[in-house]
Amino acid sequence: MDVPLSAPPVPLNQVAARRASCLSCPARSSTVCAPLPDAAIDRVALIKNPSRRLPAGATIYAEQDQCAECFTVLEGWVALVAANDEGGRVVLGFALPGDYFGFVPNPLAPRAHSAVALTPVRLCPLPRGGMQPLIASDPALAKRLAHLEALHAARADEHLVSTVQHDARGRIARLLVALCFRLTRALPAAPGQVFLLPLTLAVIGESTGHSPEHVSRSLHRMAAEGMLRFRRGRLTVLNPAALIAAAGVTERPLADMLAPA
């Protein structure tokens, strides 16, 4: 796939709609274009591609593709995955509503992972050829992009540390707690608190390095301990303190891995 040098011009009858969609965007405060004031929002509105809806299971981009577009998640969940030597895949991380993903430093270099829709998703595609001049000319946008990429790196480091330092129970607990924190910006606190996490046993296993059967046994043990219930993507936290202790996390490092609201 070739990387476009510039976005096609937007027809005049679409300019107002593009501007309005950017001004009302639910992800605007957390994505790469957050530093732009209302008066300058056309800088993104006029180069972005139309929002894109994809069904669950769709590949947004594939490993080894070139970076023609980057994306903001407007609705739904995305898994960032890489193939392993056994023909399976490893889940490297997740992009949730408001997250910006898909950037690589060299647009001609192949991507190191694929992006797959875990749920039906709505995305804002930003063409690399159109964004690159904006970022080069606007220090605030460049700073924002650097900050978001640093957050991605911090999450990757956290994921690696969890994989090395914890057993299956600890890895699963840490994954669940971290995702809950990203959704609410707080650790689980109230017994009976419910979180909607669209994760299958297979996806949890691909993220933590275990088979679906091992994940199922670990979740059943945590349920028997009165810690949680997890069924069809619905997590009920029964004992927040016990779950957080099993995860071995505190609020500060998780908060440091969130984009400013």
Q: What is the pLDDT of residue 151?
A: 87
Is 12-137 CATH 3.40.50.1110? no
For residues 254 and 76, what is the distance between their CA atoms, to the nearest angstrom? 21
Q: Where do you find CATH 1.10.10.10 in the chain?
A: 166-255
Q: Under a CB-based contact definition with an 8 Å cutoff, are residues 240 and 190 in contact?
A: yes
Q: What is the pLDDT of residue 253?
A: 74
Closest C-alpha among 35, 32, 72, 26 to residue 51 = 72
Q: What is the pLDDT of residue 107?
A: 75
Please list the residues that pair with 81 across neighbouring strands: 91, 114
Burial tier of 104 (Cβ tally within 10 Å: 0-12, 13-18, 19+): middle
pLDDT in 10s for each residue of the chain, 261 residues: 344 444 556 665 677 888 899 999 989 988 999 999 998 999 899 899 999 999 999 999 999 998 899 999 999 999 999 998 887 899 999 999 999 999 888 878 889 899 999 999 999 999 988 888 898 999 999 999 998 988 888 888 777 776 767 788 999 999 999 999 999 999 999 999 999 999 999 999 999 999 999 999 999 999 999 999 999 999 999 999 999 999 988 777 787 777 766
Q: Where do you find CATH 2.60.120.10 in the chain?
A: 12-137
Q: What is the pLDDT of residue 13?
A: 67
pLDDT in tens, 213-226: 999 999 999 999 99
For residues 131 and 138, what is the distance between their CA atoms, to the nearest angstrom? 11
Q: What is the pLDDT of residue 256?
A: 74
pLDDT in tens, 60-93: 999 999 889 999 999 999 999 999 888 789 999 9
Burial tier of 246 (Cβ tally within 10 Å: 0-12, 13-18, 19+): buried
Q: What is the pLDDT of residue 5?
A: 40
Q: Of 3.40.50.720, 1.10.10.10, 3.30.750.24, 3.30.365.10, which CATH number belongs to 166-255? A: 1.10.10.10
Q: What is the pLDDT of residue 261?
A: 60
SS3 helix, strand, coil % of the chain, rounded to 5?
Answer: 40, 20, 40
